[in-house]
Structure 1
Amino acid sequence: MWMTDRRYMYLSPGDVAYRLELISKVQGPESAVNYWKGLSIQVKNSHCYGSLLKCYAEAKSVDEAEKLLAEMQDLGMMRSYPYNVMMKLYWETGQVERVHAMYRTMEESGIKPDVFSINILLTVLAAAGNFDGIEEIIKKVDPKIVNWHSHAIVARAFMEAGQQGKALRAIQESEKQIGRKDERVAYGFLLSMFADLGMSSEADRVWNVYKSKVPACNSMYMCRITALLKMNDIDGAEKAFGEWESRYVHHDIHLTNLLLNAYCAKGLMEKAEALLDEAIAKGRTPHRSTWYSLASGFFQDGQVSKAVDMTRKALACASSRWEPDLTNVLMSLEHFMEQKNVEAAEEMASLLRNLVPLTRDVYHILLQTYVHAGQPVSDLLDRMKKDGFEADEETDKIIAGICQ
């Protein structure tokens, strides 16, 4: 029972607006509409209408949202918020021209766009590569309206287009607009952008500015280490990792994985193993991706036995929500096939089956293992068929023992 179902609880229009959105999230938009229908006219102000409009937008109900918008227009409830909701809805449903039309309607109606209006429009222009349109909006709009994110959208668009000079100017404007409540996300963006530009000194400066204002947290150390690795600065990443470890009691294996992945990519397998051993010694639990990254590194380094062991550990500790890239699994199965080790191959296939359905490629390597080991294949072929894989030409070749 809702607390407000009690007679002595009064609902303000603001309470109703919040409750509408909550009902929509928990029970779905139809329940929110039913609740709306039972409300008195007195509480149905612009905030409540705006909340119902948001419910329709989040459900991607374009027709219903447009009907409600027309009703709001008739009631004189239009402000920037309904326009923003509709612009976002049109953008998310691929109706780009209607985004622009809605923005023009807002301007023609004498309603000033706010920062959300501008940011939606900039996002649409950036996606279309309309750089003239982007620059026109930035020049035209009141500088007091835009925020750091507005300039961040512009910077990312110019960066992706290879216009690094314009991207840098937008980054600099973005930094000027950073407010206290935005610091973590905004400085994380700046770190990433300066790393993309290869400007290590600027990335260092931004990191030091951030730390002087806010105690650095796990997510920001992830940004810092990621930025350093983008610039191929392994030494700097190790230093940042060491700093993070010295400051935090509650550690995040994802930060360990960042450095471990970098070691594996560069073939520094001794360092990768030592890093993992140290993490385990400190009581941290490796993630499935930790083991799988190590497996990839060992395969690339030619250490197949270790790679197979790491692949097995990744599959064993994973949950059913994980769909692994099958490269390591297939290479492990090929190793078992060469060893004629049917038992080990079946064990790995069983671990994989707990996560995802077996593929034809997996079945074919299992078949090769059985054939090479001189084992009967009739039961395996039945399992294949049950999983929807009829024997094809390659299957027949494997059974005949002529597939290399």
Structure 2
Amino acid sequence: MLNRTLRSSIAAVRHFTAEAHVETKAATASVEKSSSGGRDTLGRRLMSLVFPKRSAVIAIRKWKEEGHKVRKYELNRIVRELRKLKRYKHALEICEWMTLQQDMKLLPGDYAVHLDLIAKVRGLNSAEKFFEDLPDQMTGHPTCTALLHTYVQNKLSDKAEALMAKMSQCGYMKHPLAYNHMLSLYVSNGQFDKVPEVIQELKSNTSPDVVTYNLWLTVCASQSDVETAEKVFLELKKAKLNPDWVTFSTLTNLYIKSLLTEKAAVTLKEMEKIASRKNRAAYSSLLSLHTNIGDEDGVWRIWKKMKSCFRKMNDAEYTCMLSSLVKLKEFEEAEKLYTEWESVSETHDARVSNILLAAYINKDQMEMAETFHNRMVQNGITPCYSTWELLTWGFLKQKHTEKVLDNFKKAVGSVKRWDPDKRLIGEVFNRLKEEGNIKGAEELLLFLRNAGHVSTEIYNSVLRTYAEAGKMPLIVAERMEKDNVQLDEETRRLIKLTSTMCVSEVPNIRS
């Protein structure tokens, strides 16, 4: 049962609204710096546990056995840093160890962090069980908000709404955080019709914060509603709240989309004024916005400012700048920048390389694309699913069927769990049908079956290829029954159509 008293500050869980933009080295350095320079500390030891299989609990026990003290505030700080690094398993181990220590007084905010980590590591069901098992005095505003956040992340509207109702009954709705979670859910689900009601309820219980207004502006931008967006922004200013870079970014995007270039230039300038080291992500947004208004000088100015502010650009920032240069058709500059990234990258992330690969393919420069792909591999960059998918599309445009099939198979084989792209599958089969390539169609059917993806439409695509080739397939209905695939009207029509044709000579491809 939900406790009716709020035992700790909502600040303990406020950070659930957004992830910190932090690089691994920077986060590790912050812990080391706060752990007294270069000497041995518990923080240093726990942050050095890079591999998940290593135990944070063993490290803490060893520290205690050596006669050192373990303080709650220090562990809380380490947990925060581990969460920024997305090293949730070790953060959870520390939280679980803390709950077993009788000399550590935990607050609802501590359990809120614990619940969030359980959701990330073990899933929703485990998080709900953890919440149900909490003592009544710990099921206050922070833990309720953490559970609500979990529902929002899983896009579970019904559960989130039910929990909101319970929180309202318990008097936990005196701060905009929970409402912001619901607004975020409705925005991500496209349920814009529910937003006004949430905002009205929020205003009746508390005051909106800048996050509320930013989410509201996002809805306006999604609906291309400039008039309402400007009213929302005016209301924000009247509430004496300081708009942040997200506010100006959302407005600028809306103005650009609405072809209000002069207004976009004004909000873009305001956004640039407040961009700083503390909100690093703002710079990537500035790059994209300057690109969208065709301001190449602005793009280079922001990039130069970024390089002066930060010791090293990360992959996401190189990706953003490369995308900007490609969009501005500055291919030579993009190639130079890619060479720079290649020389300093420690990740060799294929997603950065894919920006240039896609540019060559979009320009129908498949020879350049193949040469670039070979360069990627030679330089130790492992192609990912998107790499092979891009090459598949490129060779489809070139009508190079053998390479289409080869790259498509490599794409599917590069991932543990494949989420089938029906459009791509359809285009590959269309290429085979145009050629009347029944051997290729049968090979692709066999490959898709082995990948765990076979359907009525795929069989129909194979049958269309037979029809185009003027050949009759053998025992199609039996094969579909074996694959547990239903025949539809199109299947029956195609079987009837091909039944009068010559028998195919490629039945031995089937399995």
Q: TM-score range by the shorter chain?
A: 0.7 to 0.9
Post-superposition offset of 1:223: 0.6
- C-alpha change, 1:377 and 1:107, in structure 2 (3 Å) is closer
Structure 1 contact 80–113 (Cα < 8 Å) conserved: yes
* Residue 126 of structure 1: aligned partner: 221
Identity of aligned residues (%): 26
Q: Which residue of 2 aligns with 1:250?
A: 347
Q: Indicate if the aligned counterparts of 1:21 and 1:51 stay in contact, CA closer than 8 A.
A: yes
- Partners of 2:124 and 2:150 within 8 A in 1: no
Distance 2:197 2:392 in 1: 52
CA displacement at 1:352 relative to structure 2: 2.2
1:274 aligned onto 2:371 = yes
Shift of 1:94: 6.2
Offset from partner CA, 1:239-268 (integer Å, 9 cap, x none): 211121122243111222221111111111
Pick closer, same or farther for the CA change 1:385–1:145 going to 2, 3 Å: same
Q: Which amino acid aligns with 1:382?
A: E
**Aligned-partner Cα distance in 2 for 1:368–1:11:** 71
Question: Post-superposition shift, 1:87?
Answer: 4.0
Q: Does 1:388 align with 2:460?
A: no
Q: Partners of 1:174 and 1:193 in 2: how far apart?
A: 10
Gaps of 5+ in 1: none
| 1:377 corresponds to | 473
Change (3 A) 1:238 1:90: closer
Structure 2 CA distance, aligned partners of 1:93 and 1:250?
33
Q: Does 1:114 align with 2:209?
A: yes
Number of the residue aligned with 1:399: 499
Number of residue equivalences: 388
| Matched residue type, 1:231 | L
Counterpart of 2:230 in structure 1 is 135
Q: Describe the SS at the equivalent of 1:72.
A: coil
Tell me if 1:19 matches 2:114.
Answer: yes
Structure 1's 319 and 335: CA in aligned 2 closer, same or farther, altered over 3 A? farther
**Greater RCO (CA < 8 Å, at least 6 residues apart):** 2
Query: Which whole-Å deviations, capped at 9, do the CAs of 1:29-52 have from their partners, x for residues lacking one?
Result: 64244134x233xx5654345445
Q: Of residues 273, 281, 289 in structure 2, which corresponds to 1:193?
A: 289
Q: State whether residues 131 and 139 of structure 2, in contact with CA within 8 Å, keep that contact through their aligned partners in structure 1.
A: no
Equivalent AA in structure 1 for residue 486 of structure 2: G
Q: Match of 1:218?
A: 315
The question of whether the paired residues in 2 share the 8 Å contact of 1:371 and 1:399 is answered with: no
2:302 to 203, 206, 226: 206
Q: TM-score, normalised by structure 1?
A: 0.83
- Structure 1 residues 332 and 161, CA gap change in structure 2 (3 angstroms): same
Q: Secondary structure at the match of 1:69?
A: helix
User: Normalization by structure 2: what TM-score?
Assistant: 0.67
Give the alignment of 1:175-190 within 5 angstroms.
175-183=272-280, 185-190=281-286
Q: How does 1:335-346 map to 2 (within 5 A)?
A: 337-338=436-437, 342=439, 344-346=440-442
Using the TM superposition, name which of 6-15 and 114-123 deviates more.
Answer: 6-15
Cα displacement (A) at 1:273: 1.4
Which of 322, 327, 349 is 1:230 aligned to? 327
Q: Give matches, 1:4-403, under 5 Å.
A: 4-23=99-118, 26-28=123-125, 30-36=128-134, 38-40=135-137, 43=138, 46-54=141-149, 59-60=156-157, 61=159, 62-72=161-171, 78-89=174-185, 91=187, 96=192, 99-107=195-203, 111-142=206-237, 144-183=241-280, 185-214=281-310, 215-324=312-421, 325-331=424-430, 333-334=432-433, 337-338=436-437, 342=439, 344-355=440-451, 356-358=453-455, 359-365=458-464, 367-368=466-467, 372=471, 377-386=473-482, 387-390=485-488, 391-401=491-501
Quick one: distance in 2 between partners of 1:105 and 1:353? 52
> How far did residue 150 of structure 1 move?
0.9
3-state SS of the aligned residue for 1:232? coil
